[in-house]
Amino acid sequence: MVTNITNFGRSGLADWLIQRVTAVIMLAYTLFLLGFFLMNGDLDFVTWKLLFQGTAMRIFSLLALLSIAAHAWIGLWTVATDYIKPTGLRVAFHLVVILALFAYVVWGVQVLWGA
């Protein structure tokens, strides 16, 4: 067993599964938005605003946002452990990624519930 404390889930298996599930959620969200754009060719701000006023849409959006964060964490963690060999530099990179993702999530919540 190789020990690790900076990866996202509790194990390699958890990371792997989360990576797959979040990918499916992001795909579903993208397809949904694409479908919405196709059905509303002449999209105006009122329709757009109405869409995001529903609780279901907000939950779906937050889910997609959290999925992006988790997916990016695991993905960039993997890239960093492949290519950045000096420990200090690698940990710094993990930190920057995690802080950025955290900021995105908080910002996203603000956007979703702020309107």
Partner 1 sequence: MLQVSVYRYNPETDKKPYMQDFEIDTKGKDIMVLDVLHLVKEKDNGMSYRRSCREGVCGSDGLNMNGKNGLACITPVSEVVKNNKLIIRPLPGLPVIRDLVVDMTLFYKQYERIKPFLINDTPEPAIERLQSPEEREKLDGLYECILCACCSTACPSFWWNPDKFVGPSGLLQAYRFLIDSRDTATKERLAELDDPFSVFRCHGIMNCVAVCPKGLNPTRAIGNIRSMLLNNAT
In angstroms, give the least distance from the CB of 115 to partner 1: 39
Q: Where are the beta strands (DSSP E) in the chain?
A: none
Neighbours of 69 (CB within 10 A): 20
Please, which residue, 78 or 93, has the CB nearer to partner 1?
A: 78
Please, which residue, 23 or 34, has the CB nearer to partner 1?
A: 23
By the criterion CB under 8 A, which residues form the site for partner 1? 1-4, 7, 11-13, 15-17, 77-78, 81-83
In angstroms, give the least distance from the CB of 80 to partner 1: 11
In angstroms, give the least distance from the CB of 75 to partner 1: 11
Please, which residue, 12 or 35, has the CB nearer to partner 1?
A: 12
Cβ within 8 Å of residue 47, ≥6 positions away? 40
Give how far the C-alpha of residue 96 lies from the chain's centroid of Cα atoms, to the nearest Å. 15
Closest residue by Cα to residue 98 from 8, 4, 5, 3:
8
- Provide φ and ψ at 5, rounded to 5°: -125, -10
Helix crossing, 12-39 with 55-83: angle to 10°? 130
In angstroms, give the least distance from the CB of 10 to partner 1: 9
Please, which residue, 13 or 56, has the CB nearer to partner 1?
A: 13
